[in-house]
Amino acid sequence: MNSFGGMALRYEQSSCRLELKGFPDVSAQPLGVDGRPSLLAILTSWELNLGQRASLQGKREHLEALVETALPYVRSIVSGVRHKQTSKTAVVILAPRGRGHQLQLHSSQPNIPPLDLQLDDAELADLTQCLDQMLLDPRQGLRFEIPALKPQKLVSTGPSMQHWAAPAVAMAAISVCALVAVFLPIPKPINPTQTTEQVQKR
Amino acid sequence: MERLDLLLLAIEALDLHGSEAMLWSCEQLDLQEAFPNRVALWKSRCRNPLRRTSSRGEWNLKEQDGLIKLVCSLSQRLYPMLRQLLCSSEPDELTAQRWALFQERYNDLISERMNLKRGAVRQLLDEKCGAQRRLEVIQTLALCAGLGGMQRLGASLMDGGK
């Protein structure tokens, strides 16, 4: 906490640093051990530093958009599918690109082209770690909406022929067997009064 | 079921003392009710149908949550190593050596413990498919490391069949 009563929270990984700046809501929260409010409840600014490549700043809405895009995207990778994710306001887009991931950020100011970044798996993991740490930090009282992690219905990317081949062969085999059984001659009933010799002669 | 066991197997491949770390983590994470000792943890992992000596039955909720906690906690511990494997800015030669070392240990553990007659196991050891499977395992561990990853991993285990 600085001399003006502001607070800063920082989350760091090798290639990613997220810093939140703001103020505690003095009226709404109990005081900490040292007699000062301990929860950052009003976000004034945030900064995401992705190594030496980009430094992003924005308002609360932009951070919310990043959270609502990045976490479902990571969730889709953990499930073995890579789905493009776009925030509700279309400010942040995360999509697979090559062996890595494309992070596209659209500025809310006019005439500014979108920032396009290529992240590798390690950088995406670092970003996820920073966002996770922020969301789970007990010093942060911003009440972000955490995207629901519902089970997904996975669609297999394999060729459909492989899926249908086995049942189709099984059905064909059953049909052939049934057809053969229909054309087989029905054995004539044996008269119980006939002797074994008579039957053999016949 | 097999997914969690394979993730734990990857952790063992990354860390030579992985099995000891699992027991130690069980104590640290207060999982002793679900896994009171080494045998209980081993029995639980043997529910994986791909195992050479697999046992029937499903995990109860405590066991499943315990294993998810264990995977996420150990991934957090091994996060620097996972990151090195996934980082594209590291020298290619060094990355290739790291992957080769992981592949050797992982494949050794699979050959030792899994039923090699199963197609899924043969796929894991396959030259072509195996590399992709190993990458997926390392990605999953890196993206599920820590407390935040627990929900992600838990939810992904409930996904519809792939």
- A134-155 per-position pLDDT tens digit: 999 988 888 888 777 666 665 5
Dump pLDDT digits (tens) for A36-87. Answer: 667 888 889 899 998 877 888 888 889 999 999 999 999 999 988 888 989 8
Report pLDDT for A197.
63
Phi, psi (degrees; rounded to nearest 5) at A57: -130, 155
Chain B residues with CB-CB distance to A99 below 8 A:
88
Asked if B148 lies within 8 A of A154 by C-beta distance, the reply is: no
With vertex at residue A128, the alpha carbon angle to CA A124 and CA A129, rounded to the nearest 5 degrees, is 120
Q: In what order do the strands lie in the sheet with A54-58?
A: A7-13, A16-23, A42-50, A54-58
> Domain boundaries in chain A?
7-136
Query: What per-residue string of b and e applies to A60-87 under the rule 16 or more CB within 10 Å gives b?
Result: bebbbbbbbbbbbbbbbbbbbbeeebbb
Going by C-alpha positions, the residue among A128, A126, A105, A2 that lies closest to residue A55 is: A105
Asked if A125 lies within 8 A of B162 by C-beta distance, the reply is: no
Interface test with A, best of B79, B136, B156, B158 (most A CBs within 10 A): B156
Report pLDDT for A58.
85
Indicate the length of chain B as a whole number.
162
Dump pLDDT digits (tens) for B96-120. Answer: 999 999 999 999 999 999 999 988 8
Residue B162 pLDDT exceeds 50:
no
Could you tell me which chain B residue has the CA closest to the CA of A99? Answer: B88
Model confidence at A189, in pLDDT bands (50, 70, 90)? Answer: confident
**Cβ atoms of A142 and A41 closer than 8 Å:** yes
Dump pLDDT digits (tens) for B31-42. Answer: 888 888 889 888
Which pTM does this prediction carry? 0.81
From chain B, which residues contact A within 8 Å (Cβ)? 79, 82-84, 86-89, 136, 139-140, 142-149, 151-156, 158-162
CATH of A7-136, one of 3.40.50, 2.40.128, 2.30.31, 3.30.420: 2.30.31
Instruction: Please say whether the dihedral angle defined by the alpha carbons of residues B2, B158, A152 and A115, taken in this order, is positive or negative.
Output: negative
Question: How close A12 comes to chain B (CA, Å)?
Answer: 13
With vertex at residue A84, the alpha carbon angle to CA A142 and CA A111, rounded to the nearest 5 degrees, is 75
Model confidence at B140, in pLDDT bands (50, 70, 90)? Answer: very high
Q: How many CB pairs under 8 A join A and B?
A: 83
Report pLDDT for A185.
83
Q: Which residues contact B157 (CB under 8 A, 6 or more apart)?
A: B3, B4, B64, B68
In this complex, which of B88, B156, B162 lies closest to A75 when CB atoms are compared?
Answer: B156
Pairing state between β A115-119 and A42-50: unpaired
Interface test with B, best of A78, A85, A131, A162 (most B CBs within 10 A): A78
Residue A127, token pair as written in the block: 């970003």
Residue A6, token pair as written in the block: 């502001």
Question: How close B152 comes to chain A (CA, Å)?
Answer: 6
Query: What per-residue string of b and e applies to A172-192 under the rule 16 or more CB within 10 Å gives b?
Result: eeeeeeeeeeeeeeeeeeeee
Q: Which residues contact A45 (CB under 8 A, 6 or more apart)?
A: A21, A22, A57, A58, A59
Interface test with B, best of A18, A129, A154, A162 (most B CBs within 10 A): A129
3-state secondary structure chain A: CCCCCCEEEEEEECCEEEEEEEECCCCCCCECCCCCECCECEEEEEEEEECCCEEEEECHHHHHHHHHHHHHHHHHHHCCCCCCEECCCCCEEEEEECCEEEEEECCCCCCCCCEEEEECHHHHHHHHHHHHHHHHCCCECCCCCCCCCCCCCCCCCCCHHHHHHHHHHHHHHHHHHHHHHHHCCCCCCCCCCCCHHHHHHC
**Cβ atoms of B148 and A128 closer than 8 Å:** yes
Chain B residues with CB-CB distance to A151 below 8 A:
155-156, 158-160
